[in-house]
Amino acid sequence: MTQPTPGGLSGSQHGIITGQNGAVHMESTTTAGRILRGIEFARPDGGAPLLLDLYLPVADPARRTGAPHPAVVHFHGGGWRTGERSSLGPTVDGFGLSPIEQLVDAGFVVASADYRLTDTVTFPAQLHDAKAAVRWLRTHAAAYNVDPGRIYAWGDSAGGHLASLVGLTGGSAAFTDDGGTDPADSVAAVVAWYPPTDLVRMGAQARPDAVARADDPGSREALLIGAQPADAPDKARAASPLAYVHAGAPPFLLIHGTADRFVPAAQSAGLAGALEDAGAAVELLLLDGADHMWATPDGSSAAAETATAATLDFLRRQSEH
């Protein structure tokens, strides 16, 4: 597995450029290609702008001239209450594997997007924001040489929850601001690392050594829906990807550690089973002994490397369809 220089920004060149609508963002270069940082893609309710970082591959002479790139929209983790775009969490970032840059090296455009956190709004605002990022990329596909039919969603933890919802509710009227349908927010496949998928059962599935449980007072899940999941099962269900499984779902890759103390592995297994029962394509990879963010007792990056390699392989295969 090819590994770019950790972090990718050491020795990079930087410049400030003005993008569409006058938005100012930072441009830098890495071993993988160019990064356009801080592009505004939405301004919900006229408030603070939501930004994304856009990673563009370098030109590859071996590719067909002018052939558009497949693309991935990435959503960060952090329990919907913290985290930042272009990060996969402190543990994964600390391994220096640079999964985003590995995707760019493989020829993918990657857009890593903000979404509003639970200190300001509750669900479904976060899903509205995630869908807005997909719509922005599809709307600007020609400008960045993106194939609008090969846009995929990927997220870790809370971001995996949002990526799963994006995949399962694409084109649906259920989560559009105006109540209409909008196929521009659809994605062709989903990768989710250790995602919450069933907020109704999540607390009961927690490991005995769990660091956090969905049913704890003030849990991340409670902050997301504005109520304790046990006290508001309808809200918990409405925020659960499991509730939106259908036969026409895009292909899924779900990756989870069996020793996850934050999001039980049963969350990925349950969604995988439901997708399979519905006749949708799904792959489930359980990494034995891995905790959240691919932490392992020996401190190695082996689980993170396996998850990254599986993600690259899955998205490559999807992009070849």
Domains located in the chain, CATH noted: 32-62+69-320 (3.40.50.1820)
CA atoms within a 13 Å half-sphere pointing along the CA-CB vector of 267: 36
DSSP output for 27-72: EEE-SSEEEEEEEEEE-GGG-SPEEEEEEEEPP-TTSPTTPPEEEE
Q: How many Å separate Cα 124 from the centre of its chain?
A: 16
The residues facing 255 across adjacent strands are 193, 285
What pLDDT digit, counting tens, does each position of 67-80 carry?
Answer: 999 999 999 999 99
In sign, the C-alpha dihedral spanning 117, 120, 124, 126 is negative
Instruction: Give percent of the chain above pLDDT 70.
Output: 85
What average pLDDT does this structure show over 88-95?
98
Q: How many Å separate Cα 147 from the centre of its chain?
A: 19
What pLDDT digit, counting tens, does each position of 207-264 carry?
Answer: 999 999 999 999 999 999 999 999 999 999 999 999 999 999 999 999 999 999 999 9
pTM: 0.90
Q: Tell me which of 138-142, 159-163, 171-175 is least confident.
A: 171-175
Q: Where are the beta strands (DSSP E) in the chain?
A: 14-18, 24-29, 33-42, 50-57, 69-75, 109-113, 146-156, 190-193, 252-257, 282-287
What pLDDT digit, counting tens, does each position of 47-61 carry?
Answer: 999 999 999 998 765
Mean pLDDT of the chain: 90
